[in-house]
Structure 1
Amino acid sequence: MPPVSELILFVLALAAAGAVAGVLAGLFGIGGGAILVPVFYQVFGLLGVDDSVRMHLSLGTSLAIIVPTSVRSFLSHRKRGAVDMALLRSWVVAVPLGTLIASAIAAYVSGETLMAIFAVIALLIALRMFFNRDSWRIADDLPPNPVKWLAGVIIGILSGLMGIGGGVLNNIFMTTHGRTIHQAVATSSGLGALISIPGLIGYVWAGWGEAGLPPFSTGFINWIAVALIIPITLLVAPFGVQLAHALSRRQLEIGFGIFLTLISLRFFYGILG
């Protein structure tokens, strides 16, 4: 075990990450997972968690934390009337199904594979945000089923493999189909619940009985980290919601791009380093 002074620093780092994640949950509708995953990966490494389960544990713990954060952000956005409830209802089965598929995949792939998936998808999304143009629209409205249903499954799979609430992926899906970035962000906050709840269950199953997990872990969920960060993210999420409605569409897109590029570079460094 590390010295007490180092443990205190780890706790403070997690608390700071929780505050940032909560603001991001409201600002971008992302549930905060995209920042928590790399932070958890670093902290679990410093605590001596085995590399074979380190990334899996980061993803599962992130999804567990997204559950209340997403619900809180969703309720705040819904009060403003910006959430597309029809889209969420149409994805009640599709998105959780995709997330459970992702949990099954995570049970059989390496940590480096999960890191590579996270980094590549994050970088592609960032590039799209930087160079986004209205002319990139695929259609003026969301597609009918089964295309829309399949999109929900794919968003669930990719989000489950990244430990995120699906916001960044849903934002691209909605904005390329004629919806505003503000409606996309608001709807994404509700999508987080459809991903994180089955994701939590799936990662508990995927990691059940795995060797090398730290104390107070159930499968790939570490409950100490969950208990520490959830209160902080719940407290600060509404501030992110207020900020989201004060910014322009282009400002939100550039913010997405910068944020995701930094996260992607961090994981590429972890893979190649």
Structure 2
Amino acid sequence: MYLSDITLLLLCGSISGFLAGLLGIGGGMILVPFMILVFNHLGFQQELIVHMAIATGMATILFTTSSAIWAHHKHSSIDWKLVAALSPGMVVGGLVGGSKIFEAINTSWLSLFFAIFIVYSAVQMILNKKPTAGRNLPGPIGLFLFGLCVGMLASLVGAGGAFITVPFMLWCNVKPHTAMASSSGLGFPIAAAATIGYMYGSWGLPNLPAGSLGYVYAPAVACIVIVSIFTAPIGAKMARKLDVVQLKRIFGVMLFCLAAFMFNESRKAFGF
């Protein structure tokens, strides 16, 4: 990689790690547009770039969430029983989505789906509308099915699932701070399962660049992780001090800009 590419990835890694700790998100989703720029600059095959950007972004969540999890765990913020109950479904969903569905979707539709999900996430961030607590958590089967759906969706967009799991937990009477912290704990099993699925489903594909583990581009993961593991604990610490609502709105506006970029990528892939 060129020095400019490494610098961009290091900067993005520091931001994604901070946001992982601050907002309970995996951070992989915001990396995708920037990795598309890097992969284009490196001359990767066009039909592989979006898939590789999403898979590589998801792989980084393994490390950013690990750091954020430890920071939240030290303050006893994570409901580990809830994480354990939701994780099996998420693992199955991540494996199936990452290995089967992800590989089957072509670049144009994947770009469009990703852009739509970013818009949804941006609206959630800006409105910061918390669902009214209206029920208790469902039983084991209900939690498994919910986790299954979240795992499959997250594997398609390279996200840790917090944009879905946090509103769900709040609706089920989980305390806001516990829901935010627990979403970090849930990001790890989703990321692990989806990353394994990506690599398994794409292993041996032609035209993959050197340094790739299937769709996961290892050099980019290394650049991002080397800084994100240090900034994630900072974000977790600041979450207890800053006006997170205002930060969410600023982040939401940034997501709209990233969505515009991805809609443009989708337009080019469709040939419009």
Normalising to structure 2: TM-score of the pair? 0.91
CA distance in structure 2 between the partners assigned to 1:125 and 1:272 by the alignment: 21
Match of 1:266 among 255, 261, 264: 261
Contact 1:207 1:219 in 2 (8 A): yes
Partner of 1:9: 4
Partner of 1:113: 109
Judged with a 3 Å threshold, the aligned counterparts in structure 2 of structure 1 residues 269 and 30 are, in CA distance, closer, same or farther, namely same
Q: Give SS of 1:146's match.
A: helix
Quote how far apart the aligned CAs of 1:58 are: 0.9
Q: Give SS of 1:185's match.
A: helix
Is 1:81 matched with 2:73? no
Partner of 1:219: 214
Judged with a 3 Å threshold, the aligned counterparts in structure 2 of structure 1 residues 271 and 171 are, in CA distance, closer, same or farther, namely same
Contact 1:182 1:244 in 2 (8 A): no
Is 1:36 matched with 2:31? yes
Contact 1:244 1:252 in 2 (8 A): no
CA distance in structure 2 between the partners assigned to 1:144 and 1:252 by the alignment: 34
CA distance in structure 1 between the partners assigned to 2:198 and 2:128 by the alignment: 34
Partner of 2:204: 209
Is 1:243 matched with 2:238? yes
CA distance in structure 1 between the partners assigned to 2:252 and 2:176 by the alignment: 14
Match of 2:149 among 130, 151, 154: 154
CA distance in structure 2 between the partners assigned to 1:47 and 1:128 by the alignment: 34
CA distance in structure 2 between the partners assigned to 1:264 and 1:184 by the alignment: 26
Partner of 2:118: 122
Judged with a 3 Å threshold, the aligned counterparts in structure 2 of structure 1 residues 247 and 182 are, in CA distance, closer, same or farther, namely farther
Contact 2:77 2:181 in 1 (8 A): yes
Quote how far apart the aligned CAs of 1:197 are: 1.1
* Structure 1 unaligned blocks of 5 or more: none
CA distance in structure 2 between the partners assigned to 1:29 and 1:50 by the alignment: 33
Normalising to structure 1: TM-score of the pair? 0.90
Judged with a 3 Å threshold, the aligned counterparts in structure 2 of structure 1 residues 138 and 125 are, in CA distance, closer, same or farther, namely farther
CA distance in structure 1 between the partners assigned to 2:242 and 2:175 by the alignment: 13
CA distance in structure 2 between the partners assigned to 1:177 and 1:261 by the alignment: 29
Amino acid at match of 1:222: Y
Quote how far apart the aligned CAs of 1:249 are: 5.8
- Stretch moving more, 173-182 or 103-112: 173-182
Q: Give SS of 2:37's match.
A: helix
Quote how far apart the aligned CAs of 1:251 are: 3.1
Amino acid at match of 1:125: S
Output one character per residue of 1:168-196: Cα deviation in whole Å (capped at 9) or x when no partner. Answer: 22122222333343222211111111111
Contact 1:18 1:233 in 2 (8 A): yes
* Structure 2 unaligned blocks of 5 or more: none
Match of 1:131 among 127, 131, 136: 127
CA distance in structure 1 between the partners assigned to 2:154 and 2:9 by the alignment: 22
Contact 2:108 2:267 in 1 (8 A): no
Contact 1:21 1:36 in 2 (8 A): yes
Judged with a 3 Å threshold, the aligned counterparts in structure 2 of structure 1 residues 106 and 78 are, in CA distance, closer, same or farther, namely same
CA distance in structure 2 between the partners assigned to 1:22 and 1:53 by the alignment: 25
Match of 1:64 among 54, 59, 63: 59
CA distance in structure 1 between the partners assigned to 2:129 and 2:266 by the alignment: 32
Q: How many residues align?
A: 267
Partner of 2:47: 52
Judged with a 3 Å threshold, the aligned counterparts in structure 2 of structure 1 residues 180 and 189 are, in CA distance, closer, same or farther, namely same
Judged with a 3 Å threshold, the aligned counterparts in structure 2 of structure 1 residues 179 and 126 are, in CA distance, closer, same or farther, namely farther
Is 1:101 matched with 2:103? no
Quote how far apart the aligned CAs of 1:254 are: 2.5
Partner of 2:168: 173
Amino acid at match of 2:123: L
Task: Note the aligned Cα RMSD (angstroms).
Answer: 1.9
